[in-house]
Structure 1
Amino acid sequence: MTCSNCSIILPIKDQGLLKIRHSRVSLTQVLGNLGMLSEQMKQEQGREDGIAFRYDSPAELEQLMDRLACLPKEWLLHMEVVVTGSFHVEGYEDWLPFSQLQARIKHPDVMNVIVDQSFSSHMQPIIDHKLDIIGFEFLLRPSHPQRPFQPFRLFEIAREAGLHAHLDRSARISAIEKSATCLPAGIKRFINFLPSTIYNPAYCLNHTFETIDRLSMNTEDFVFEVVETEEIDDLNVLHHIFELYRKRGVSVALDDVGAGYSTTELMNCLQPDYVKIDRSLIDGCYRNSDQKRQITGIVESASRFGGQVLAEGVEQMEDFEFCREAGVSLAQGYLFGKPEPSPPPNFMLSSVI
C-alpha cells in the first residue's frame, strides 16, 4: 500500500531536461506557434506524448517556464512537466502539474526549508482551571536564522508546490521526536495536522504511529489537532481519520472553533475529544455579550458529547476568568506562556518531583 504524495522529493538539477506532455492538445503545434521549437530554445527531442527541452542553467529553466506560462490557462491546467538531470537514467519520474513545478522554481528558499527540514518545534503551555500545565501545543518555527519563514506562508507555498503533505508529515514527526526529548510521560502533546494531506489514511498515518512506537511513547499522551484552511469536502474521510487515531489511543481536537470553516455544526458532527475556541472569540470576551453567548453555546454543545473545551489566545486574566466560569476547562495563550524551544525549567522540576 502506497501513497504518491508521500514519495521522495526529487531535486531540481542546475542542468538537464524539461519534459512536457499534454493530454488534450498537440504540443508541437502549440509550442511552434509560440516560437519555442527553434534551435535557440534547444529542443532536445519530440515524441508523440510530449516534448523535452535541454536547459543549461537555473535561469534558462526559469525562462522556459515563463514562456510556457504564456499559454492559455485552460491549456496549462492539463499540462504535466518533469525536470530530469542531463544524464538521467530512465525510471522513476515525478511528473507534476505545471503550476506545481512553477511554484517550486519560483520559491527556491522555501523548497530548501522543506527538503532540508530546516524547522523545529516550539512549545506553548496549556493549563487547566487550577493554572497547572497539563500539556503543550507544538508549533512549527525556523531552526536556522539564515532561513526564516512564517509558518502559514510556508504551508501556503508548500500547497501551491504540491508539497504540503511532505511538510505536514515531516512537521508532525519532528514534533513527536521533540516531545520525546522534552516532556515526561503523562503530559499531553497537542500536534497539528492537515486532513487534506492524508490521502490514504491507512498508509499515511503509519509514519506517525511508527515514530511513536520507535520512541516507546504512549499514544494516550498525544492529541492531534485538525487544522484546515480550506473547507472540508468529505467528512467521511475525516471521520475515518479520527477513528484510526482513536483506535490507537490518540485523542483528536478541532482547532479554531468559531472562526472560518471550524463551525459549531462541524464540531457537533465530528464530536472531537477537545474543542479549541478560536482566539477571535476569546479576546475581550469578558466585556462582550455576543462573544460570551457564543462561548457558552460552544461549551454547552461540547458537553453533550463529552468534549473538553480549550480557550486559545488568552492574554487577559479577565477573559480567562469568564471562560473558567463558563465551563471552559483548559486554556493557552501569552498570559500563561509564549511558544518556546523548551518547557519552563520550573515545569520540568515539578514534573520530576
Structure 2
Amino acid sequence: MPPRINLPPVTRISLLALGLQSVLSAAIRYRQWTAHSEIVIPYLNLIPQLSLVYPWTFVTTTLVESNIFTFSIAALTLYHGGRYLERAWSSRELAKFLLVTSLIPNALCFATLILFFTFTRNERWTLMTIAGTISLQISFLVAFSQLVPAHTVTLFRGILSLRVPRFPLLYIGVVTALCLTPMLTSVSFLLAVYGFITSWTYLRFYKAVFPDLDQSQTSSLRGDASETFAFAEFFPGPVRPVVAGISENVFNMLVAMRVCTPFTQDHISAARGDNAFSHHSHQRGVPGSARAEAERRRALALKALDQRLHAATAGAAARASSNPAPPAVQPPAPSATGPTVQTQPQANTQKTMTAQTGDAGSSSDNDGSRSNA
C-alpha cells in the first residue's frame, strides 16, 4: 500500500481549495477562450470594477492560480510551509494567519488600483485581476524568519549562503523581475509588498504568544518583541540603520495617534527568555534582544511533554490507590524436620560437635582398657 500522507486539517483544506478553484478557473477560461478578448471571472477572482457584488472574492481569489507554473509553486508552498507552521503554532493560529494575510493584502491592492484609476482615469486599472498565492508565499517566509532567525540556507553546493530573514526581500526582487515578463502582472508586485508588510505587522504586534513555562507570564501577551524580528533585520547591513530610524519614527507617530501601544516588560521578557532588560529593551522601534526561537519552542515542547508524563504517572498512582492489589501469596512454612540453614543456632552446633568428640574419646578409652585387661 502507498504511504499515507498525514496533513494537518487547515493545510489539507487549503490545498483542496487551491486545486478545486484553480481547476474550475482553468475550465471556465478554456470554455470561453477567444483570441481577441481577455477572460475575467468576477465571482471567483477579485476585479475592482466587477467583484463588489461578490464580497467572498476578497478571500477566495488568493487560492486561484492561472497557470501550471504558479500553481506548482503555490501547492509546494502550502504543503511544506502550511504543514510546518500548523504544527509549530496550531490549526487555529494558522487559519487566522492565512485569513489575515489573504484578506488585507487583497483589500489594499484593491484600494491601490482604485486610487490609480482616480489619478489616471485609465479604466485598465479597475479591470486587472487580483489573484494568486503570492501574498501567502511571502507571508510564510516572514513567519520562518520569526521562527528560525539564525538559520542559514546554503544554495548551489555552498556557493551562496543566506540567512532566512534575507528571503522575503529576495522574493520581492524575483517577483519584480517576473512582472516585467508576461508571466506576472504589476498586481503581483503589490501583493508581494502588501503581504510582506501585513504578515510582519501581524506577527510583530498582534499574534498571540505561547506562554513561557519558565516564567509567570500572562496568557494575553501578543506580538514578538525580539530584536531579531525587527523590521530593519530584513534589510542588508548598509541600509539597516536608515530603515531602523524610519520605522522607529513611523511607530512613534502611530503611538502618538494611539493606533499602537509600546511593548510592556512582559513582552520584552518573553522575547528575551529571561528577566534581564537592557537599556534599549524599552524602545518599541527596535525592541528586545536576540533569542533563539527554535530552541525556546523545543524547550517548551519538552516541558509540556514532561508535564503530561507527570500527570499520567499521578493518574496511574491514584488509580492504584483506589483499587488496592490483592494480598501477596505467603511463602510456604518450613518443614517439621528441622530449621533451615539460616535459622540453625551455631552455638548449639558447636556444643553438639564437642559432646560427640568427648563421647568418642571416652568410648575409645574404654575399649583400650578392655583390651589391656
Whether TM exceeds 0.5 here: the answer is no
Q: Which has the higher strand share?
A: 1
Larger radius of gyration: 2
Taking CA–CA contacts closer than 8 Å with sequence separation of 6 or more, which of the two structures ends up with the larger relative contact order? 1
Q: Give the TM-score normalised by structure 2.
A: 0.25
Q: Which has the higher helix share?
A: 2
Q: Give the TM-score normalised by structure 1.
A: 0.26
